[in-house]
Amino acid sequence: MGSIGRLAVAAVLLAAPLLVAAQAFPSKPITLICPWPAGGTTDAHLRKFAEIAQKYLGQPVVVDNKPGGGGMIGPSNMAKLARPDGYTISQLPITAYRLPHQRQVDWDAINDFTYLIGITGYTFGVVVKADSPFKSFGDLLDYAKANPGKLSYGTPGTGTSPHLLMEEVGMKTGVQFLHVPFKGNADSMQALLGGHVLAQSDSTGWGRFVDAGTLRLLVTFGEKRTRWNAPTAKELGFDIVSYSPYGLVGPKGMDAQVVKALHDAFKKTLDDPEHLKLLQQLDQVYWYKSSREYAQWAAQTLQAERATIERTTARTRASARFSSAAISPAFSTPRPTCSRWPACRRACFSPRASCPRSCWKRKKSARRRCSTRASARCATAATTPPDTSRSASRSRRSAGWPRAWAWTSSWSATTRTPRSPHAGGRARSALRSSTTRPAAS
C-alpha cells in the first residue's frame, strides 16, 4: 500500500469516532440554560419548549435558570466553561448585541457562540396595578412630566428591550423616568405588586395578572393590538416597534453533525401544534431562522444596536441622577435621605444593614455608585420612622450594626455626624455621650 493509501486509511480511522459520536447524539440529557429567573415569560416558554423537544431528541432537556447581567451571565459562562459537545446550550437574548456597546465584556457575541436556531420574539407592554390612578398611557406620561424622575418603573435589567423602549418614549416626549432594574420578570413583578415601583415595562409575564384583573395594561410595542386590546405605541403616535427575537446557541467549536441534529429536532419542536398554541397564549411571534441565517442576523444586529445604544445612552445617564430618589409606594411621599452622608444619599436605617457600614470602606466615588443602587426593600423602611427602643437597638447591633449606629436616627437632622463606625474609641465615646438615649421600658 502506498503512502497515499495509508494516509487515507488513517484519516478514515481518525474520523470514525467523530462520526459515531455524531450519529449517537444525543446519548444523555441536554441542559438548556435559561438566563432569566423562574416564573418569567422566557422561563415559561423554554420549559414547555424543552418538554416538547424531548420527543424529537429522545433525551430529556433540562432547563437550568442562570439569571443576572441582563440575561448574559448564563450564556457567557456557558461559552467559557461548557464543552462544545451539544449537551449544554442556552437561550441568547438580544442584550448580547447591546452590552458590548455599553461596557467592556469578556465574551464575543459572534465568535464565542455556535448559533443553532432562531425561534421566537416577545410582546412588550407597560402595566400598572389595577387600583393605580393611571387609566391610560397618557395619564402615566402626564404624571411623569409633572414629576420628573419620580415615576419609577421596573424592567428585567439595564440595556434590555423593555428598558430601552421606555428610554425611547422618554426621549420622544421629554419625560424623565426612574428606571429600577431587576434580574428578570418575576422579580420586577413582585416589586410592582408590592407597590415598590409604579409601573412595569416587560414582556407578557404580566398576562395572567391582566387576565385576573390585578394589573392594567396601558400600551404594547408590537405591530398590532394583542388579545387584551390595549393600544399600540404606534397608535399613540410613537414610531416604536420591538419584539426582540431570540434563539438557542451553544459554545463555539461544535461539530456540524451535532449542530444539524439539534437544529432539526428544534425545528420540529418549533412547528409542533402544542408549541404554536403556547406562542399564541404568550402572544409571542413565530421567528424561525436556520443556523446560518441566525448567525448572519446576529452579525447584522450587533452593528445595528450600536445606533440604538448611542440614542439612549445620554438618557440612561441622566436617569441615573434620579436613582437616589424615592421608590415610594405613595405618589407624593418623598424618601428621606441621610443629611450626614451626602455622598451616600440613602436612608440611614435600611434593611440592608451592610450598606452604611460598607460605604465607609469605599472611596467617595464608590459611595456615590452605592447611592444609585435603588433597592425596593429600602423603600418601605425609608418611609417609616425607625424604632429607637432598646430592643430595636439590640436587634440592630445583633444584625451587625456598629455600636455608633445603635441610638442615632436618620430622621433627626440635629444628630451629630459620627466619623467612620470603625474610627477610634474616643470618637465613639463622644458620639454616645452626645446622643440622647430613649428611656428604658
If asked whether residues 439 and 330 sit together in one domain, one would say yes
**69 pLDDT tier (thresholds 50, 70, 90):** confident
> Would 13 be classed as within a structural domain?
no
Q: Which three cell numbers stand for residue 236?
A: 399613540
- Residue 356's pLDDT is 43
35 is a domain residue: yes
Burial string for 174-206 (b: 16+ CB within 10 Å, else e) reads: ebbbbbbbbbbbbbbbebbeebbbbbbbbbbbb
Question: 333 vs 170, which has greater pLDDT?
Answer: 170
193 or 434, which is more confident: 193
158 and 82 housed in the same domain: no
Based on the fold, state whether residues 270 and 359 are members of the same structural domain. Answer: no
Q: Are residues 31 and 45 in the same domain?
A: yes
pLDDT of residue 306: 87
pLDDT at residue number 28: 96
User: What's the rounded Cα separation, in Å, for the pair 115 and 135?
Assistant: 43
Query: Is the pLDDT assigned to residue 147 strictly greater than 80?
Result: yes
Q: Is the pLDDT of residue 193 over 50?
A: yes
Predicted local confidence at residue 186, as pLDDT: 84
pTM of the predicted model as reported, rounded to 2 decimal places: 0.62
Task: Say yes or no to pLDDT of 327 above 90.
Answer: no
Q: What is the pLDDT of residue 217?
A: 97
In a domain, 252, yes or no: yes
Task: Provide the 3-class DSSP secondary structure of residue 29.
Answer: coil
Task: Quickly tell me which residue has 484519516 as its cell.
Answer: 11
pLDDT at residue 427, as a whole number: 41
319 domain-assigned? no
Q: What is the mean pLDDT of the segment spanning 51-69? A: 95
> Measured between alpha carbons, how far is 387 from 392 in angstroms, rounded to an integer?
6
Per-residue confidence (pLDDT) for residue 304, from 0 to 100: 87
Cα–Cα separations (whole angstroms), residue 282 to 193, 199, 383: 20, 20, 37
Q: Domain check: are 253 and 172 in the same one?
A: no
Domain harbouring 151, CATH code: 3.40.190.10
* Residue, of 267 and 12, whose pLDDT is higher: 267
Co-location of 248 and 102 in the same domain: yes
Same domain, 176 and 264: no
Is pLDDT at 100 greater than 50 in this prediction?
yes
For residue 10, is it within any domain?
no
> Domain ends where: 192, 219, 242?
242
Round the average pLDDT of the chain to a whole number and report it.
76
pLDDT of 361 strictly over 80: no
Q: Is residue 437 part of a domain?
A: yes
Say if residue 112 is in the same domain as residue 261: yes
The more confidently predicted of residues 426 and 165 is 165
Q: Are 59 and 86 in contact (CB under 8 A)?
A: no
Give the strand pairing for 125-129 and 215-220.
Answer: antiparallel
pLDDT at 39: 85
Which cell is 265 given?
Answer: 429536532
> Which range of residues forms the domain containing residue 196?
125-242
Task: Give residue 40's pLDDT.
Answer: 84
State the average pLDDT over residues 231-254.
Answer: 94
User: How far apart are the C-alpha atoms of 357 and 340, rounded to whole Å?
Assistant: 14
Q: What is the pLDDT of residue 316?
A: 54
Q: Cell 432537556 identifies what position? A: 61
CA angle 72, 207, 36 (to 5 degrees): 15
Last residue of a domain, one of 242, 259, 287: 242
Residues 112 and 259 in one domain: yes
Region 26-39: mean pLDDT is: 95
Whether residues 130 and 83 fall in one domain: no
pLDDT at 318: 52
Same domain, 230 and 252: no
CATH number at residue 113: 3.40.190.150
* φ, ψ (nearest 5 deg) of residue 60: -65, 145
Spatial CB neighbours of 234, under 8 Å, sequence gap ≥ 6: 223, 240, 241
Domain closes at, from 210, 242, 274: 242
Q: What letter represents residue 345's amino acid?
A: R
143, 238: one domain: yes
Does 96 have pLDDT greater than 50?
A: yes
Is 317 inside a domain boundary?
no
**Total domain count, the chain:** 3
Has residue 217 been placed in a domain? yes
The share of the chain scoring above pLDDT 70, in percent, equals 65
